[in-house]
Amino acid sequence: MATTPKKPVARLEVKKTYKLYINGAFPRSESGRVYEILTSKGVSVANPSLASRKDLRDAVVAARAAQSGWAKATAYNRGQILYRIAEMLEGRAEQLATEISLATGVSSKKAHDEVLAAIDRWVWMAGWSDKLSAAFGATNPVSGPYYNFTIPEPQGVIAVAPAESFLAFIDAIAPAIVSGNTVVALVPGSAAIAAMTFAEVLATSDLPAGVVNILTGSHDELAPWAASHMDIDGFDISGISKKKRADLKVAGAENLKRIHHFEGALSPTRIYAFMETKTVWHPIGV
Amino acid sequence: MTFEYAPAPESRSIVDIKAKYGHFIDGKFVAGKNHFATINPATEEVLSQIALGGASDVDKAVAAAQKAYTRTWSKLSGKERGKYLYRIARILQERAREFAVLETLDNGKPIRETRDIDIPLVAAHFFYHAGWADKLDYAGLGKSPQPHGVAGQIIPWNFPLLMLAWKVAPALATGNTVVLKPAETTSLTALLFAQVCQEAELPDGVVNIVTGDGRTGSAIVNHPGIHKIAFTGSTEVGKKIARAIAGTEKKATLELGGKGANVVFDDAPIDEAVEGIVNGIFFNQGHVCCAGSRLILQEGIADEFIEKLKVRMAKIRVGDPLDKNTDLGAINSREQLLKIQELAGVGDSEGAERWSPACTLSDKGFWFAPTIFTGVTQAHRIAREEIFGPILSILTFRTPQEAIEKANNTPFGLSAGVWSEKGSRILWATQQLRAGVVWANTFNKFDPASPFGGYKESGWGREGGKHGLSAYLKEGK
Amino acid sequence: MSFYGIVDGSESSLKHFLAQLPGVDQVGAEARAAMLATRSIKTSSKRWAIDTAISMVDLTTLEGADTAGKVRALCSKAVRPDPTDSTVPSVGAVCVYNDMVAIARTHLDSIGGEHVPVAAVSTAFPSGRASMEVKIQDTQDAIDSGAAEIDMVIDRGAFLSGQFGLVFDEIVKIREVCGDRAHLKVIFETGELVTYDNVRKASYLAMLAGADFIKTSTGKVAPAATPPVVLVMLEAVRDFYSMTNHRIGVKPAGGIRNTKDAIKQLVLVNETAGPEWLTPELFRIGASALLNDLLMQRMKMDDGYYASPNYVTID
Sign of the dihedral defined by the CA atoms of residues B134, B140, B143, B149, in that order: negative
Nearest to A284 among C27, C194, C195 (CB): C27
Quote the ipTM score. 0.97
In chain C, the residue whose alpha carbon lies closest to the alpha carbon of A145 is: C27
pLDDT at C82 over 60: yes
Tell me the CB-side half-sphere exposure of residue A283, using CA atoms within 13 A: 24
Set of chain C residues whose Cβ sits within 8 Å of the Cβ of A145: 26-27
Rounded to 5 degrees, what are φ and ψ at A236? Answer: -95, 110
Nearest to B271 among C49, C235, C266 (CB): C235
Q: Which of C135, C173, C215, C264 is catalytic?
A: C215
Cβ distance A285 to C27 less than 8 Å, yes or no, reads yes
Span B249-270, average pLDDT: 97
Sign of the dihedral defined by the CA atoms of residues B377, B379, B383, B387, in that order: negative
pLDDT at A273 over 70: yes
Cβ distance B242 to A249 less than 8 Å, yes or no, reads yes
Set of chain C residues whose Cβ sits within 8 Å of the Cβ of A144: 27
Set of chain B residues whose Cβ sits within 8 Å of the Cβ of A237: none
Model pLDDT for residues A26-37, shown as the tens digit of each residue:
999 999 999 999
Cβ distance C44 to B6 less than 8 Å, yes or no, reads yes
pLDDT at A1 over 90: no
Cβ distance A246 to B449 less than 8 Å, yes or no, reads no
Secondary structure (DSSP) of B127-149: HHHHHHTT-GGGSSS-SS-EE-S
Q: Which of B255, B386, B457, B463 is catalytic?
A: B255
Q: Which of B316, B231, B306, B268 is nearest to B439 (CA)?
A: B268
Angle (CA) B275-B279-B280 rounded to 5° is 115
Q: Three-class SS of residue C251? A: strand
Nearest to A140 among B235, B442, B449 (CB): B449
Whether chain C has a CB inside 8 Å of the CB on B267: the answer is yes
Model pLDDT for residues C246-270, shown as the tens digit of each residue:
999 999 999 999 999 999 999 999 9
CA–CA distance, B330 with B318 (Å, rounded to integer) = 8
Backbone conformation region of residue B211, classed left if phi is above 0, alpha if psi is from -120 to 50, else beta: beta
The pLDDT assigned to A223 comes to: 98
Whether chain B has a CB inside 8 Å of the CB on C20: the answer is no
Whether chain A has a CB inside 8 Å of the CB on C194: the answer is yes
pLDDT at A3 over 80: no
Q: Would you place residue A251 in the very low, low, confident or very high pLDDT band (cuts 50, 70, 90)?
A: very high
Please list the residues that pair with A231 across neighbouring strands: none
Ranking A263-267, B335-339, C126-130 by mean pLDDT, the lowest is A263-267
Q: Where are the alpha helices (DSSP H) in C151-249?
A: 156-160, 164-178, 190-193, 196-209, 227-244
Q: Would you place residue C178 in the very low, low, confident or very high pLDDT band (cuts 50, 70, 90)?
A: very high
Secondary structure (DSSP) of A156-196: SEEEE---SSHHHHHHHHHHHHHTT-EEEEEEEGGGHHHHH
Q: Is C293 a catalytic residue?
A: no
Q: Which of B100, B95, B124, B122 is nearest to B112 (CA)?
A: B100
The CATH number corresponding to C11-301 among 3.40.718.10, 3.20.20.70, 3.40.50.720, 3.40.50.150 equals: 3.20.20.70
Kindly state the DSSP code that residue A5 receives in the 8-state scheme.
P
Q: Is B255 a catalytic residue?
A: yes
Instruction: For chain B, positions 48-77, list CB contacts with chain C under 8 A.
Output: none
Q: What percent of chain B has pLDDT over 90?
A: 99
Using CB atoms within 10 Å of the CB of residue C120, give its burial: 0 to 12 exposed, 13 to 18 middle, 19+ buried.
buried
Give how far A94 is from chain B: nearest CA, Å.
Answer: 36
Is A105:A39 a contact under the CB 8 Å cutoff?
Answer: yes
Secondary structure (DSSP) of A21-74: BBTTB-PPPTT--B--EE-TTS-EEE--B---HHHHHHHHHHHHHHHHHHHHS-
In a domain? residue A210: yes
CA–CA distance, C121 with A64 (Å, rounded to integer) = 69
Name the strands in the sheet holding C118-122, side by side, starting at the edge strand that comes first in the sequence: C249-251, C213-215, C183-187, C149-153, C118-122, C93-97, C57-60, C285-287
Cβ distance A247 to B442 less than 8 Å, yes or no, reads no
Name the strands in the sheet holding A157-160, side by side, starting at the edge strand that comes first in the sequence: A212-217, A182-188, A157-160, A234-236, A258-260
Angle (CA) A143-A147-A152 rounded to 5° is 110
In chain B, the residue whose alpha carbon lies closest to the alpha carbon of A134 is: B140
The pLDDT assigned to B2 comes to: 82
Model pLDDT for residues B318-330, shown as the tens digit of each residue:
999 999 999 999 9
In a domain? residue A27: no
The pLDDT assigned to C119 comes to: 98
Set of chain A residues whose Cβ sits within 8 Å of the Cβ of C194: 286
Give how far A139 is from chain B: nearest CA, Å.
Answer: 9
Angle (CA) A21-A22-A25 rounded to 5° is 75
Q: In Å, what is the CA distance from B17 to each residue of B12, B97, B192?
A: 10, 14, 9
What is the Cα Rg of chain B in Å?
A: 22
> How many CB atoms sit inside 10 A of residue B265's CB?
22
Using CB atoms within 10 Å of the CB of residue A69, give its burial: 0 to 12 exposed, 13 to 18 middle, 19+ buried.
middle
Set of chain C residues whose Cβ sits within 8 Å of the Cβ of B324: 38-40
Kindly state the DSSP code that residue B76 receives in the 8-state scheme.
S
Cβ distance A283 to C28 less than 8 Å, yes or no, reads yes
The pLDDT assigned to A4 comes to: 66
CA–CA distance, B244 with B221 (Å, rounded to integer) = 7
Nearest to A283 among C25, C194, C195 (CB): C25
Give how far B279 is from chain C: nearest CA, Å.
Answer: 10
Secondary structure (DSSP) of B364-382: SS-----EEEES--TTSGG
Set of chain A residues whose Cβ sits within 8 Å of the Cβ of B121: none
Is B52:B32 a contact under the CB 8 Å cutoff?
Answer: yes
The pLDDT assigned to B52 comes to: 98
Cβ distance A283 to C26 less than 8 Å, yes or no, reads yes
Which subunits count as partners of chain A given 3+ CB pairs below 8 Å? B, C
Give how far A280 is from chain B: nearest CA, Å.
Answer: 5
pLDDT at C28 over 70: yes
Kindly state the DSSP code that residue B323 receives in the 8-state scheme.
B
Is A270:A160 a contact under the CB 8 Å cutoff?
Answer: no
CA–CA distance, B48 with B16 (Å, rounded to integer) = 11
Q: CB-based contacts of C256: which residues, under 8 Å, 6+ apart?
A: C225, C262, C265, C285, C286, C287, C290
Q: Would you place residue B477 in the very low, low, confident or very high pLDDT band (cuts 50, 70, 90)?
A: confident
Instruction: For chain C, positions 229-268, list CB contacts with chain B under 8 A.
Output: 232, 235, 266-267
Model pLDDT for residues B80-95, shown as the tens digit of each residue:
999 999 999 999 999 9
In a domain? residue A10: no
Span B441-467, average pLDDT: 98
Is B289:B158 a contact under the CB 8 Å cutoff?
Answer: yes
First and final CA of chain B: distance in angstroms? 72
Q: CB-based contacts of B301: which residues, under 8 Å, 6+ apart?
A: B264, B266, B268, B270
Domain housing A207 = 45-283
Beta pairing, strands B28-30 & B23-25: antiparallel
What is the Cα Rg of chain C in Å?
A: 19
Mutate to test the interface with B, among A255, A260, A277, A284 (most CBs of B within 10 A): A277
Nearest to C49 among B3, B7, B315 (CB): B3
Q: Would you place residue B1 in the very low, low, confident or very high pLDDT band (cuts 50, 70, 90)?
A: low
Kindly state the DSSP code that residue B314 receives in the 8-state scheme.
T
The pLDDT assigned to C2 comes to: 84
Q: Would you place residue A169 in the very low, low, confident or very high pLDDT band (cuts 50, 70, 90)?
A: very high
Span B428-451, average pLDDT: 98
Is B289:B246 a contact under the CB 8 Å cutoff?
Answer: no
Q: In Å, what is the CA distance from B475 to each residue of A268, B56, B144, B246?
A: 12, 33, 8, 21
Q: CB-based contacts of C158: which residues, under 8 Å, 6+ apart?
A: C166, C167
Nearest to B450 among A135, A142, A252 (CB): A142
Q: Which of C297, C310, C242 is nearest to C273 (CA)?
A: C242
B23-256+456-474 is a CATH 3.40.605.10 domain: yes
The pLDDT assigned to B165 comes to: 98
Sign of the dihedral defined by the CA atoms of residues B227, B228, B231, B235, in that order: positive
Give how far C273 is from chain B: nearest CA, Å.
Answer: 10
Model pLDDT for residues C201-241, shown as the tens digit of each residue:
999 999 999 999 999 999 999 999 999 999 999 999 999 99
CA–CA distance, C99 with C263 (Å, rounded to integer) = 32
Q: In Å, what is the CA distance from C10 to each residue of A240, C114, C169, C199?
A: 76, 41, 9, 20
CA–CA distance, B449 with A149 (Å, rounded to integer) = 10
Nearest to A146 among B243, B426, B442 (CB): B442
Is B256:B454 a contact under the CB 8 Å cutoff?
Answer: yes
Kindly state the DSSP code that residue C315 receives in the 8-state scheme.
-
Whether chain A has a CB inside 8 Å of the CB on C195: the answer is yes
Q: Which of C249, C101, C132, C94 is nearest to C184 (CA)?
A: C249
The pLDDT assigned to A265 comes to: 84
Q: Three-class SS of residue C185? A: strand
Q: CB-based contacts of B94: which residues, under 8 Å, 6+ apart?
A: none
Domain-by-domain residue ranges, chain C? 11-301
pTM score of the predicted model = 0.96
Set of chain C residues whose Cβ sits within 8 Å of the Cβ of A283: 25-28
Q: Which of C77, C173, C201, C251 is catalytic?
A: C251
In a domain? residue A205: yes
Q: Would you place residue B355 in the very low, low, confident or very high pLDDT band (cuts 50, 70, 90)?
A: very high
Domain-by-domain residue ranges, chain B? 23-256+456-474, 261-440
Which subunits count as partners of chain C given 3+ CB pairs below 8 Å? A, B
Specify the number of domains making up chain A.
1
Fold of B261-440: Aldehyde Dehydrogenase; Chain A, domain 2 (3.40.309)
Q: Three-class SS of residue B254? A: strand
pLDDT at B476 over 90: no
In chain C, the residue whose alpha carbon lies closest to the alpha carbon of A146 is: C27
Average pLDDT, chain B: 97
pLDDT at A2 over 60: no
Q: Is C251 a catalytic residue?
A: yes
Q: Where are the alpha helices (DSSP H) in B144-269?
A: 160-173, 188-199, 214-222, 235-244
Q: Which of B296, B299, B300 is nearest to B406 (CA)?
A: B296
Set of chain B residues whose Cβ sits within 8 Å of the Cβ of A250: 242-243, 246
CA–CA distance, C185 with B47 (Å, rounded to integer) = 56
Q: Three-class SS of residue B18? A: coil
Nearest to C195 among A144, A284, A286 (CB): A286
pLDDT at B412 over 80: yes
Give how far C49 is from chain B: nearest CA, Å.
Answer: 8
Mutate to test the interface with B, among A74, A281, A284, A286 (most CBs of B within 10 A): A281
In a domain? residue A7: no
Give how far C25 is from chain A: nearest CA, Å.
Answer: 7
CA–CA distance, B225 with B217 (Å, rounded to integer) = 14
What is the Cα Rg of chain A in Å?
A: 20
Secondary structure (DSSP) of A187-222: EEGGGHHHHHHHHHHHHTTTPPTTSEEEEEE-HHHH
Amino acid at A171: D
